A and B are shown apart, each in its own frame.
Chain A
């Protein structure tokens, strides 16, 4: 079956620290991978995506590389800001269907 596992939070960092949020997946076939961000009181917004092995998705300083050999899609940012405080969701879109599978979310708190 399809599933996504991401690190539990909350993750608390100081401003300008390096961020890594781990995400691993299990999938039948060859999925596409996504990171979504949810700011307080809002819906989920697409942050970045990758559709094939070794692809790197990037946006707003965030990056994630599709690693088929380790079934991972870890989110990274070199220098976080207070405004990055949010909940981050890793997700996969199954190859054969238009369904998405989401991880449980990781809350990031960035302190000034």
Chain B
């Protein structure tokens, strides 16, 4: 079955370190998204991509970067981790058919703690 996976599921790092969170989907979806989830804020969009070599900033992109070298993967990099980036991170993907029924499918999440 097609799926979307994230790794690692849990990560503890120190302030100032570079961290990369992996996201891999096997649906061959064009669109991929990264969100962070914090208590009281719901889901906030960090970066998104509509296809290979395409990346766009979301509402909370400062301190994060992504690159899209193939259809399946959209890794999220924290250039210099800060305690404010302690959060749960979700990756999602969707088709790009233009259909009104297009749905986002979510990975299981990565819990990141920055000490």
Binding site for B on A (CB under 8 A): 32, 34, 36, 42-46, 49, 51-52, 89, 91, 93, 98-100, 102-105
Question: Which residue of B has the minimal Cβ distance to A55?
Answer: B100
Residues on A with C-beta less than 8 A from B50 are 98
Asked if residues A43 and B45 are in contact (CB atoms below 8 Å), the reply is no
Residues on B with C-beta less than 8 A from A44 are 43, 90, 92, 106
Give the residue among B90, B100, B106 with the most A Cβ atoms within 10 A. B100
Please report the total number of B residues contacting A with Cβ < 8 Å: 24
Residues on A with C-beta less than 8 A from B43 are 44, 89, 102, 105
Residues on B with C-beta less than 8 A from A52 are 100
Give the residue among A43, A89, A103 with the most B Cβ atoms within 10 A. A43
B45's partner among A46, A49, A99, A103 (CB-CB below 8 A) is A99
Beyond A51-B100, A100-B104, 13 additional contacts (C-beta under 8 Å) are: A32-B100, A42-B108, A42-B109, A43-B90, A43-B108, A44-B92, A44-B106, A45-B106, A52-B100, A89-B42, A93-B100, A98-B96, A104-B42
Known A45-B106, A89-B43; judge A32-B101 contact (CB<8 A).
yes
Q: What's the A-B contact tally at a CB cutoff of 8 Å?
A: 51
4 tightest Cβ-Cβ pairs between the two chains A and B: A104-B42, A43-B106, A51-B100, A102-B43
At the interface, is chain A mostly helix, strand, loop or mixed? strand
Q: A63 CB to closest chain B CB, in angstroms?
A: 18
Q: Mark B71-115, 1 if CB is under 8 A from A, else 0.
A: 000000000000000000010101010001111111111000000
Contact of B34 with A by CB under 8 A: no
Residues on A with C-beta less than 8 A from B45 are 99
Q: Mark B49-83, 1 if CB is under 8 A from A, else 0.
A: 01000000000000000000000000000000000
